Amino acid sequence: MSQTTIFWPMLAHVLLIYIVYGVLGRRRYFAVKSGEAKVGQYKMRSTEPASSATVAANLVNQFELPVLFYALCLTLHVTNGVNYLTLALMWIFVATRYFHAWVHLTSNDLRARSRSFFVGAVVLLAAWIWLALHLLGVV
């Protein structure tokens, strides 16, 4: 398996970040256009209207747990640790991020969001454990 395949899940997550930026810009634009907000409200997150505040919060989420994802992908690439299992785990993680973002930006159902976050965190932990075993020469 080519070690560069690990970059596809990374690129998929980068795409998600740009999608969320697009949604954020659109929601902010329409909040100002409709009179729900004034441009100056976006200087401080605490004064942002609810219609865009959840999107801004989701954008922050894309730079928390995913930092470990990026570090892991790069480490797997460098150590020749990319295989079908690690690639599948990374795609599952990215799928949980897309689902989490979709829920956050639509219904904002905390139960669904929490479950998605938990599944992604566990998948990422499993991949880190696999990396440790790989570095030890066990797998």
Give the fold, CATH level 3, of 3-136: Four Helix Bundle (Hemerythrin (Met), subunit A) (1.20.120)
Helix locations, the chain, DSSP H: 7-34, 50-61, 65-78, 84-105, 110-136
Q: Full-prediction pTM beyond 0.85?
A: yes
C-alpha–C-alpha distance, residues 139 and 133, integer Å: 6
Element (H, E) at 85: helix 84-105
- What pLDDT digit, counting tens, does each position of 76-134 carry? 999 999 999 999 999 999 999 999 999 999 999 999 999 999 999 999 999 999 999 99
Q: Show the tokens assigned to 55.
A: 């999107």
* Neighbour tally for 132: CB within 10 Å: 11
Q: Show the tokens assigned to 5.
A: 């395949």
What residues does each domain of the chain span? Answer: 3-136
Q: What is the mean pLDDT of residues 1-13?
A: 97
Per-residue pLDDT, 44: 76
